[in-house]
Amino acid sequence: MKKFLILVFTALAFLGFTNNAFAEDNSVKAYFFYGEGCPHCAKEEAFFESIKDKYPTLEVNSFEIYHNRENVSLMKDVSNRLNANASGVPFLIIGDKFLVGYAEDVTNIEIENQIKYGLSNTLPDIVGEIIKERNTVSETSKDNRQVNRESEEGNINEKILKLPFIGKVDVYKVSIPVLAITMGVLDGFNPCAMWVLIFLISMLIGMGNRKRMWAIGTTFIVASAAVYFIFMAAWLNLIIFLGFVAIIRIIIGLLALVGGGYNLKEFFTKKDATCEVTNEKQKEKIIDKLKRVTKEKNLLLALLGVTVLAFMVNLIELVCSAGLPALFAQVLSMNNLSEVGYYGYILLYIFFFMIDDLIVFIIAMTTLKITGITTKYSRYSHLIGGTLMFIIGVLLIFKPEVLMFG
């Protein structure tokens, strides 16, 4: 009897050992659909890179969808088979489980849990079956990425423009700064804050103290720029924090269509291009505060007062023109940039947003004469800005890869 029990326990121990060995050797296949230039895809890909030594039997097969129609078709077939609403990337499948989007630690935990489950259990290879049905060959992450890049080499020349006197220009490299400058200039013609600057200048010119004039006027402009920077930086970080690009992108795209349509309506229906956000009572209050600020004998108190006033005025202006800066922040979030890159482009946008104010202020302080921006320019900014918003809105919804500049 004792020999029999020893034999049974030995057999059970052997089976347990072989099961554990089998579990450790069991391979897990992951299928990763991503977009070239998508920052959240890049983060998820970096996570896979960080755990490859931890899970040596994990096989990641990657499929780039922005530049490969075959992969887009495969992704649609997979999402249909799994009943998944794959409206954006990253889109990950392990066995019959899928994850859409990427939210840092939450997604990482879900991925590792599914990998661990696959190491001790046999997972169905849904995507592999679909690939076999489509007679396509699945490759590993790096091999697939290289194939996609090589397949696009023939199209790279389409992104190079030959301009007179300038020569060859890489559209991918210049598109973000060009967009920042264009949108910043258009946003700068918004009439809601210009009238405040013009009135402030009229008060400063009568002072006769040039140092005080320059100090108060410059403080107003810098504080106005700071409001915009805080708003755009906060909006950018909110989008990046949410992590799920597709839903936010589509919502902002729809808002851009509405904002673009409104600006076009303003161009065709109103010729004076006046600010409708600030009513007469609000204007009177602002003018009264401007008078008190400029008459303040203590320069530090005057600078503090004009700073607070600039914040208040530009927060009101954001109600009127939040569309363009929010839209630009959304485009930035779709490109895989460093923090310096993100904030650098925001500063570039803001510089050109403030450039009309700077021109008006410098001319006035130099000549002691007031020169404003006519409503003609403000009106046409509605036309150009509205058209640009409408185009970007359509691209965000239907062709987001066009706005991912590499």
Reported as a single tens digit per residue, the pLDDT across 313-341 is 777 666 666 678 888 888 887 776 778 88
Q: At what angle do helices 126-133 and 69-82 cross, to 10 degrees?
A: 130
Reported as a single tens digit per residue, the pLDDT across 368-396 is 776 655 555 566 767 777 788 888 888 88
DSSP string, 292-324: HHHH-SSHHHHHHHHHHHHHHHHHHHHHHH-HH
DSSP string, 133-156: HTT-----HHHHHHHHHHHHGGGG
pTM comes to: 0.58
Structure tokens at 71: 């992969």
- What integer is the mean pLDDT of 221-226? 90
pLDDT bracket for residue 173 (50, 70, 90): low
Superfamily of domain 22-155: Glutaredoxin (3.40.30.10)
Q: What letters, b where the CB count within 10 A reaches 16 and e where it falls short, cover 294-308?
A: bebeeeeebbebbbe
Is 182 within 8 Å of 388 (Cβ atoms)? yes
Minimum mean pLDDT among 161-170, 225-234, 263-272: which range? 161-170
The half-sphere exposure of 146 on its side-chain side, counting CA atoms within 13 A, is 5
Reported as a single tens digit per residue, the pLDDT across 255-310 is 888 888 877 887 777 766 555 555 667 777 777 887 888 888 888 888 898 888 88
Peptide linkage before 90 cis (omega within 30 of 0): yes
Q: What is the pLDDT of residue 17?
A: 42
- What integer is the mean pLDDT of 31-52? 88
Q: What percent of the chain has pLDDT over 70?
A: 71
The half-sphere exposure of 65 on its side-chain side, counting CA atoms within 13 A, is 21
SS (H, E, C) 225-284: HHHHHHHHHHHHHHHHHHCCHHHHHHHHHHHHHHHHHHHHHHHHHCCCCCCCCCCHHHHH
Query: How far, in Å, CA of 383 to CA of 96, rounded?
Result: 50
Count other C-beta atoms under 10 Å from residue 28's C-beta: 19
Q: What is the pLDDT of residue 318?
A: 66
200 or 98, which is more confident: 98
Domain locations in the chain as residue ranges: 22-155, 167-403
Query: How far, in Å, CA of 259 to CA of 200, rounded?
Result: 30
Residue closest to 185 by CA, chosen among 377, 396, 393, 320: 377
Query: Does the pLDDT at position 202 exceed 60?
Result: yes
Number of H helices, E strands in the chain: 15, 6
